[in-house]
Amino acid sequence: MRLVTGFAGPHRLRQLLDAVMAIASELDLPTVLQRITQSAVDLVDARYGALGVLDETGTRLSQFITIGIDDAGRAAIGALPEGHGILGHLIVDARPLRLPDLTEHPESYGFPPGHPPMHSFLGVPIRVRETVFGNLYLTDKTSAEVFTDVDEEMVVGLAGAAGIAIENARLSARVRDLALAEDRERIARDLHDSVIQRLFATGMSLQSTYRLVRSDPDSAERRIDRAVDDLDVTIREIRTAIFGLEQRRATSTGLRSALLATAREAAGAMGFEPRLILDGPIDTAVPGPIGESLLAVVREALSNVARHAHATTAAVELRVAEEVVLKIVDDGVGPAADRPTGNGLRNLRERAVRLGGTAELASGDGGGTTVEWRVPLPNVPDRS
């Protein structure tokens, strides 16, 4: 960044510093570009300002952010400029350009119908690393007839900071995209490993049930009931996976978000991330005291899995309806082996009892351990 020279006093240097801090604090690129343009206008008392972003070829304008012209004015002007006349001159010769009257420049292209008249002009390129990203265009200084040397130096200084801010915003967007891509891959694995396999197994079960409809209708009915239950679980898993992806796009302080964070935290000690199945109005129907106890129960149960279960998979299933039903299931050695069931289970039960509920620990259907924690909801909202 070039240092500001000339006769810039403390007040104007403070203005420049404030402008640099304003654009440096933002990571969203469209917002960064808007702030750069507004900061440049404020810095030199311009009536109008614009930031033209070059396309990939570096020969034309692909974006044009404006300050000082309202929506009606932009509509009256019509199509945004592509880089002709003086704007094109700045694209070809990427150096600061200051004019007392832009209409008298030999390369002036003129204004389209509906465009406001403009006279004094200051143009400065914005560089990102060694590449020209675009140009700042400022017209009609309101506090004097022309832009000054100091104005030019101030905007050149701002443009240097703008290049850094733009690069920072681009890198931030890439990091967000990479994180989102990682989440997509993880969710795709989850869907393949659990949801798709469950759907396939349910389909096979229904195919075999077809042969029992006439010969053994009772068995067929039981199989259909199990298939419906499996499909219900599958739908909850899909909802949980979708919520997990959405959660990376927005910050939340709800119970769902806290459960997702707790599962991610437990992955380090367990060696794998537990699967979450969340169903019902979790963020709206679960009161604070129940939510706090529920999170403590999940942490305690997952800690026990990490320390004692020797498990390779675990699942946290939460269903909220007339009551809160929490299950933590693992495929480890089971409660009858070396896993202690002292203070940990006692704490889980005490938390449930204080809230009018119950907590039980049992062997899983296929081995491992199932912890089931149930508490009633004091006021069940109408969810019709």
162 in the same domain as 16: yes
Q: Tell me the residue range of the domain where 75 lies.
A: 10-174
Task: State the average pLDDT over residues 99-117.
Answer: 82
280 in the same domain as 170: no
pLDDT of residue 75: 77
Three-state secondary-structure class, residue 249: coil
Task: State the average pLDDT over residues 56-61.
Answer: 81
Residue 223 lies in a domain: no
Distance of alpha carbon 15 from alpha carbon 154, whole angstroms? 9
* 8 Å CB contact between 41 and 55: no
Q: What is the CA radius of gyration of the chain?
A: 32
CATH code, domain with 169: 3.30.450.40
280 in the same domain as 159: no
**Number of domains into which the chain is organized:** 2
Residue 243 lies in a domain: no
Q: How many residues does the chain have?
A: 384
Domain end marker among 133, 152, 174:
174
Q: Which residues pair with 140 in a beta bridge?
A: none
147 in the same domain as 267: no
Residue 216 lies in a domain: no
Model confidence pTM above 0.85: no
17 in the same domain as 111: yes
The one-letter code for the residue type at 57 is T
Task: State the average pLDDT over residues 194-203.
Answer: 59
pLDDT of residue 5: 41
Residue 180 lies in a domain: no
Three-state secondary-structure class, residue 106: coil
Q: Read off the DSSP letter of residue 45.
A: T
pLDDT of residue 258: 86
282 in the same domain as 370: yes
Task: State the average pLDDT over residues 241-247.
Answer: 53
* 5-9, 65-69, 112-116 — most confident range: 65-69
Tell me the C-alpha to C-alpha distance, in Å, between residue 257 and each of 181, 239, 243, 244. 19, 14, 9, 8
Task: State the average pLDDT over residues 164-190.
Answer: 68
Residue 59 lies in a domain: yes
* 8 Å CB contact between 324 and 377: yes
Q: Which residues contact 164 (CB under 8 A, 6 or more apart)?
A: 1, 24
Residue 138 lies in a domain: yes
* 8 Å CB contact between 307 and 344: no
Around 89, how many Cα atoms within 13 Å sit in the side-chain half-sphere?
Answer: 16
99-103, 317-321, 334-338: least confidently modelled range: 334-338
Domain end marker among 151, 174, 197:
174
Distance of alpha carbon 263 from alpha carbon 275, whole angstroms? 8
- Residue 64 sits at φ, ψ, to 5 deg, of -145, 105
Domain end marker among 133, 148, 174:
174
159 in the same domain as 63: yes
pLDDT of residue 97: 92
309 in the same domain as 166: no
137 in the same domain as 14: yes
Residue 226 lies in a domain: no
Distance of alpha carbon 259 from alpha carbon 293, whole angstroms? 12
Q: Which residues pair with 203 in a beta bridge?
A: none
What are the structure tokens assigned to 181, written together?
Answer: 């891509």
Q: When comparing pLDDT for 336 and 138, which is higher?
A: 138
276 in the same domain as 155: no
What are the structure tokens assigned to 204, written together?
Answer: 């096979």
pLDDT band at 244 (very low <50, low <70, confident <90, very high): low
275 in the same domain as 160: no
Residue 329 lies in a domain: yes
258 in the same domain as 168: no
Residue 260 has pLDDT above 70, yes or no: yes
CATH code, domain with 310: 3.30.565.10
